[in-house]
Structure 1
Amino acid sequence: MRHPEYQYLDLMERVLEQGDARVDRTGVGTRSLFGAMLRFDLSEGTAPILTTKRVYWKTAVKEMLWFLTGGTNLQPLLRENVRIWTDWPLDSYRRETGEAISQEAFEQRIVEDDAFAARWGELGPVYGKQWRRWLGADGHEYDQIGTLVQTLRENPSSRRMLFHGWNVPELGQMALPPCHMVYQYHVTSTGRLNCLLYQRSVDLLLGAPFNFVGATALHLMLADQAGLTPGELVWVGGDVHLYQNHLDQAREQLTREPRPLPRIALTRRGQGIDDYRIEDFTVEGYDPHAAIKADVAV
């Protein structure tokens, strides 16, 4: 059987060779394809943590756990040494104040100064807010994740087991509108939980590897809560792109042979979907190639 990671590498190669050259929101420019699908089988405990470069899987899992809190402020992430959201509030701070503060100094102030964090660490109503506290037109807040867990337990044949983050009235208030925006779930007659994740915009080099890990971690937690077995993760990309300043890094990654995928597991059953911590996840057998550095386009 062909290594599952080749799905990702083949997609990267197609973007490099056939991608449409586009001017994007960031001004960096991309090569882009529209519409892609990858499928990963989680049933044997393997995880789609890429091996052709090191993926910092704990960072991705911590981000997913933060989403599940419903939080929208940078401070808890930085206290967990997760820096992947800093670029947007830092850019806003520099533009609004004119202060040429370093990223390290900005992050330190967010961590240490609660008042500064409240003013400058707020990301707006991003993922977690929509997942756990969607504000409806009726003025009520809706917990999409809580409803999903309940439906998985009580009505697993439902075709309405999904959540999403594209809350149109609140998009303008978000530091970044949701990229991985719709998660739909399906339970087989044998008790396997499948997930289809639709991602409208895909930074293929930096973003997608984290999204695979985050979706896998969530998949395990949901299966655990509903007494199900993890099945298939189906990933669907809309605008799949490589930034122009990522092309050399992509070419380097394509020269590397995939290694065996690692195994991921939960060490205990959570009392509820909010009860998981990073210490509850174990990854074994991860032996990746070296990390590949690239800048985030803001």
Structure 2
Amino acid sequence: MKQYQDFLKHILKEGSDKPDRTNTGITSTFGYQMRFNLNQGFPLLTTKKVHLKSIIHELLWFVRGDTNLKYLADNKVRIWNEWPYKKFTQSEDYNNETMKEYVELVRTDEAFAKKHGDLGPVYGKQWRDFSGYDQLANVISEIKKNPNSRRLIVSAWNPPQLKDMALPPCHLLFQFYVKDNKLSLQLYQRSADAFLGVPFNIASYSLLLMMVAEVCHLEPYEFVHTIGDAHIYSNHLEQVNLQLSREPRKLPIMKIKHHDNIEDYVYEDFELVDYNPYPLIKGKVAV
């Protein structure tokens, strides 16, 4: 995906070194946009292997309005572990459990998961229950009834509840657009970890676009990714340069099953075809 490679190059060329909340240090720019035509293939990075299983399960977790780590732990998805584990280590119940031991407790002990596995009112809660309003169901209904609406919006940014979230939403607002029986989606992301997070965000929202298009009997067309603070963490610079040394390969194809209800989707409904990435490049998440 040349768009993503150009994004990394832009940050390295135009970015400034800044301190950040995690005390890791970043190279940061403000304001960037990428566009992905889904007719040209599914936008999953080929310059490094991306863990699609985690992306699908996380998206299904959002769609169902779930906010507890247990579903992700049951499916061996690790991308949210650091935040609730950090909170657990500060609780009176902490007894020097390792991250691995903590995740196993979430997976096997229902009472423990209920007490120490919840992430607060994060994405899924806001999508499905924004102060009692099911945004996702209503926007799908509106796409079907009034596809020319300019109000086809879902927001995860709920200011009074930010303090209760494990992490305030980074990808915080998305809007649908219908033209010529084709459905597009634009995401606004306030903060973007260019190396670790953005590849997941691109694939996740492209997949959401495909799911909503299926439910609404439309053709998925374009994913537009608009970013506020775009940054590369200082401990990812070596990995970014390695990735930029690799020539992007042909994009894979994503096949998904048709459902009339978005809540009916399960992991087995997705099939990725002809994915031929370069090897995985590891990087540590900043918490």
TM exceeding 0.5: yes
Query: What does residue 102 of structure 1 align with?
Result: 98
Could you state the TM-score of these two structures normalised by the residue count of structure 2? 0.97
The 8 Å contact of residues 189 and 228 in structure 2, kept in 1 or not, is answered as yes
Q: Say if 2:23 is the partner of 1:34.
A: no
CA drift at 1:278: 1.0
Cα distance between partner residues in 2 of 1:75 and 1:129: 15
CA drift at 1:269: 1.5
Query: What does residue 278 of structure 1 align with?
Result: 267
Residue 175 of structure 2 aligns with an amino acid whose one-letter code is Q
Q: 1:98-152 deviations in whole A, cap 9, x for unaligned? A: 64321111100100001111111010000000000111xxxxx000000011011
Q: Secondary structure at the match of 2:262?
A: coil
CA RMSD of aligned residues (A): 1.0
**Identity %, equivalent residues:** 42
Residue 234 of structure 1 aligns with an amino acid whose one-letter code is V
CA drift at 1:58: 1.9
Cα distance between partner residues in 1 of 2:26 and 2:214: 39
Residue 244 of structure 1 aligns with an amino acid whose one-letter code is S
Q: Secondary structure at the match of 1:163?
A: strand
The 8 Å contact of residues 179 and 201 in structure 1, kept in 2 or not, is answered as yes
Residue 162 of structure 1 aligns with an amino acid whose one-letter code is I
Kindly report which structure 2 residues correspond to 1:175-214, keeping only aligned pairs within 5 A, or say none: 175-188=166-179, 190-214=180-204
Residue 235 of structure 1 aligns with an amino acid whose one-letter code is H
Which of 3, 8, 25 is matched with 2:21 structurally? 25
CA drift at 1:6: 1.4
Cα distance between partner residues in 1 of 2:51 and 2:66: 22
Cα distance between partner residues in 2 of 1:242 and 1:164: 25
Query: Structure 1 unaligned runs (5+)?
Result: 136-140
CA drift at 1:43: 2.8
Which of 107, 118, 121 is matched with 2:114 structurally? 118
Cα distance between partner residues in 2 of 1:31 and 1:171: 26
The 8 Å contact of residues 216 and 260 in structure 2, kept in 1 or not, is answered as no
Q: Secondary structure at the match of 1:233?
A: strand
Cα distance between partner residues in 1 of 2:205 and 2:284: 23
Q: Secondary structure at the match of 2:228?
A: strand
Query: What does residue 138 of structure 1 align with?
Result: none
Query: What does residue 213 of structure 2 align with?
Result: 223
Cα distance between partner residues in 1 of 2:205 and 2:13: 28
Question: How many pairs align?
Answer: 286
Cα distance between partner residues in 1 of 2:84 and 2:47: 31
